[in-house]
Structure 1
Amino acid sequence: MEFSIYTITNTPRLYILMSKHFSRTNFTTMSRFVLIFIIGVATLAVSSARPEDRLVNADVAEYGRYPYMVSLRVGTSFSHTCGAALVTPEHCVTAAHCVANNVPEAVDPSARFVVTGHLSNVFGGRVTQLSEVRIHPEYNPSNTWENDIAVLKLATPIPYTATEQPIPIATADVDVQDCDISGWGRHHMPSNTLPSQLQSGVMATMTRDTCIQYWASSMIFNSTLCVGGVRGNGVCSGDSGGPLVCNGELAGVVSWGNPCANGLPDGFARVYAFRDWVNENIADLSDLGRFYAAEAAASRPSRA
Structure 2
Amino acid sequence: MKVFVVVILAIATVSAGVLPQVDTPVHPRDLVDAPSIEGRITNGNKAASNQFPYQVGLAFKNSAGSWWCGGSIIANTWVLTAAHCTNGASSVTIYYGSTLRTSAKLKKKVSKSKFVQHASYKAATLQNDISLIKTPSVKFTAAINKITLPSIASSNSSFAGQTAIASGWGTTSDYDSSVTSYLQYAELQVISNAVCQQTYGSSIVTSGVICVASTNKRSTCQGDSGGPLALNGKLIGVTSFVSALGCEKNKPAGFTRVTSHLDWIKTKSAVFY
So what's the TM-score if we normalise by structure 1? 0.75
Q: What displacement does 1:43 show?
A: 5.1
Contact 1:68 1:167 in 2 (8 A): yes
2:132 and 2:226 map into 1 onto residues whose CA distance is 11
Larger radius of gyration: 1
For residues 138-149 of structure 1, the aligned pairs below 5 Å read: 138-142=120-124, 144-149=125-130
> Corresponding residue for 1:230?
215
Label 1:282 to 1:231 Cα distance change in 2 as closer, same or farther (>3 A): same
1:45-80: CA deviations, max 9, x gaps?
Answer: xxxxxxxx631111110111100000001349xx76
Contact 1:6 1:54 in 2 (8 A): no
**Which of 107, 122, 130 is 2:110 aligned to?**
130
1:5 and 1:214 map into 2 onto residues whose CA distance is 25
Confirm or deny that 1:250 pairs with 2:235: yes
Structure with higher helix content: 1
1:230-280: CA deviations, max 9, x gaps?
Answer: 241211121000000012111000001012131111110000100110111
Confirm or deny that 1:87 pairs with 2:54: no
1:206 and 1:19 map into 2 onto residues whose CA distance is 18
Code of the residue aligned with 2:100 in structure 1: it is S
Contact 2:5 2:242 in 1 (8 A): no
> Corresponding residue for 1:175?
159
The alignment yields a C-alpha RMSD, in angstroms, of: 3.0
Confirm or deny that 1:121 pairs with 2:115: no
**Which of 201, 208, 221 is 1:216 aligned to?**
201
2:208 and 2:10 map into 1 onto residues whose CA distance is 21
Report SS of the residue matched to 1:83: strand
Label 1:198 to 1:187 Cα distance change in 2 as closer, same or farther (>3 A): same
**Which of 43, 47, 56 is 1:70 aligned to?**
56
Q: What displacement does 1:206 show?
A: 0.8
Code of the residue aligned with 2:77 in structure 1: it is E
Identity of aligned residues (%): 25
Report SS of the residue matched to 2:137: coil
1:204-252: CA deviations, max 9, x gaps?
Answer: 1111111122221222110010112424121112100000001211100
Structure 1, gaps ≥5 residues long:
45-52, 102-106, 284-291, 297-304
So what's the TM-score if we normalise by structure 2? 0.83
Structure 2, gaps ≥5 residues long:
none
> Corresponding residue for 2:41?
55
Confirm or deny that 1:42 pairs with 2:36: yes
1:176-214: CA deviations, max 9, x gaps?
Answer: 200111100332224331110000120111111111222
- TM superposition outliers: structure 1 runs of 4+ over 6 Å: none
Label 1:160 to 1:113 Cα distance change in 2 as closer, same or farther (>3 A): same
Q: What displacement does 1:42 show?
A: 3.0
> Corresponding residue for 2:185?
200
Q: What displacement does 1:122 show?
A: 2.5
1:95 and 1:220 map into 2 onto residues whose CA distance is 16
Code of the residue aligned with 1:162 in structure 2: it is A
- Count of aligned positions: 256
Structure with higher strand content: 2
Confirm or deny that 1:261 pairs with 2:221: no
**Which of 262, 270, 276 is 2:257 aligned to?**
270
